[in-house]
Amino acid sequence: MPCLRGLDLDGHEKIIKKACKIMKKYHDPIIDDRIHEWKKGKKTYKEDLLDVLISLKYAHKNDLLTTHEIKSNLLELTLAAVDNPSNAVEWGLAEMINQPELLKKAIEELYSIVGKERMVQEYDFPKLNYVKACAREAFRRHPICDFNLPHVAMKDTVVSNYFIPKERRLKIDGSNLSLTDSSLEFVTFGTGRRGCSGIMLGSSMTIMLFARLLHGFTWSVPPNQSSIDLSESHGGTTKAKPLVAVAKPRLPIEAYRLY
């Protein structure tokens, strides 16, 4: 409500401002140094998103973005893009540790596609359908938005003449599975004009993090626990307790040295 702007009755604005200040403390010096390198000609090729933003030009060669705009865009990307993929991966990993048969099936796919001599790369994504199906299921069972109601089919079910299969993430024809769905049967990043502008970035971050954690390490419940606690925080968007699990390297040490 615009009339209440500035009052910060619930204290959220104060919390966000403090968080942004901490992030800027670490981000801004890196951005300033990189801009200086480009202006002095010490850097001439693009290695990452920061280089791309700095290099954007108008037709008449003037900078498209100011330093303030670059910093604001990167801050926005960090705030919007980090939590959701990490939360989805944490939920997915927790669910799969409690269900070893799912974890085993994902590892078998990763071994067959990626092997044991290297880490997962982005060009592997189209073939990692089971891993992506598990990520989709994590988004569905534990929505990132408070207003999305989680639901699950424990077995093949018929509701109002609609058949709902228990495992419906994998496509029968084996075609490339995505974390998004244009038919609106599954919504992860919103849709339409208000949809997330970072769909490709968010999808890639989620798949890469999830696949590399599954592929690179064996996961098990801590010795003093029988299973991972799946209770949700207030609002149901994150775990009530951070995921604590035992991770052991799965691949030869040479595979990790490349990254």
Model confidence over 178-197: pLDDT tens digits?
Answer: 776 666 666 666 666 766 76
pLDDT for 166 equals 62
Task: Looking at the structure, tell me whether residues 94 and 44 fall in a common domain.
Answer: no
pLDDT for 3 equals 82
Model confidence over 111-142: pLDDT tens digits?
Answer: 999 999 999 999 999 999 999 999 988 888 88
Report how many domains make up the chain.
2
pLDDT for 181 equals 66
Q: Is the pLDDT of residue 150 over 70?
A: no
> pLDDT tier at 245 (50, 70, 90 boundaries)?
very high
Task: Looking at the structure, tell me whether residues 198 and 239 fall in a common domain.
Answer: yes
The two beta strands, 162-164 and 157-159, are antiparallel
Give the end of a domain, one of 81, 103, 122.
81
Which amino acid, 127? K
3-class secondary structure, 78: helix
Task: Looking at the structure, tell me whether residues 159 and 200 fall in a common domain.
Answer: yes
Task: Looking at the structure, tell me whether residues 52 and 100 fall in a common domain.
Answer: no
The two beta strands, 246-249 and 157-159, are unpaired
Model confidence over 191-242: pLDDT tens digits?
Answer: 667 667 677 778 888 999 999 999 999 999 999 899 999 888 776 567 888 8
Instruction: Give this prediction's pTM.
Output: 0.70
Q: Is the pLDDT of residue 254 over 60?
A: yes
Contact 169, 133 (CB under 8 A): yes
- Give me the chain's average pLDDT, please: 83
Give the end of a domain, one of 81, 105, 140.
81
Which one has a higher pLDDT value, 9 or 162? 9
Q: pLDDT above 90 covers what percent of the chain? A: 43
Q: Is the pLDDT of residue 259 over 60?
A: no
Task: Looking at the structure, tell me whether residues 209 and 247 fall in a common domain.
Answer: yes
Nearest in space to 203 (alpha carbons), one of 229, 232, 181, 226: 181
First-last CA distance in the chain: 48
Task: List the domain range (segments joined by +) for residue 219.
Answer: 83-257
Model confidence over 64-105: pLDDT tens digits?
Answer: 999 999 999 888 887 776 777 888 899 999 999 999 999 999
Sign, CA torsion 126/131/133/135: negative
Give the end of a domain, one of 81, 108, 129.
81
pLDDT for 131 equals 94
pLDDT for 90 equals 93
Task: Looking at the structure, tell me whether residues 138 and 235 fall in a common domain.
Answer: yes
Task: Looking at the structure, tell me whether residues 54 and 87 fall in a common domain.
Answer: no
Task: Looking at the structure, tell me whether residues 179 and 125 fall in a common domain.
Answer: yes
Task: Looking at the structure, tell me whether residues 27 and 107 fall in a common domain.
Answer: no
Task: Looking at the structure, tell me whether residues 66 and 123 fall in a common domain.
Answer: no
The first and second tokens of residue 41, run together, are 């000609």
d(CA 74, CA 39): 19
Task: Looking at the structure, tell me whether residues 133 and 193 fall in a common domain.
Answer: yes
pLDDT for 9 equals 80
Task: Looking at the structure, tell me whether residues 119 and 185 fall in a common domain.
Answer: yes
pLDDT for 60 equals 76
Task: Return the CATH number at 238.
Answer: 1.10.630.10
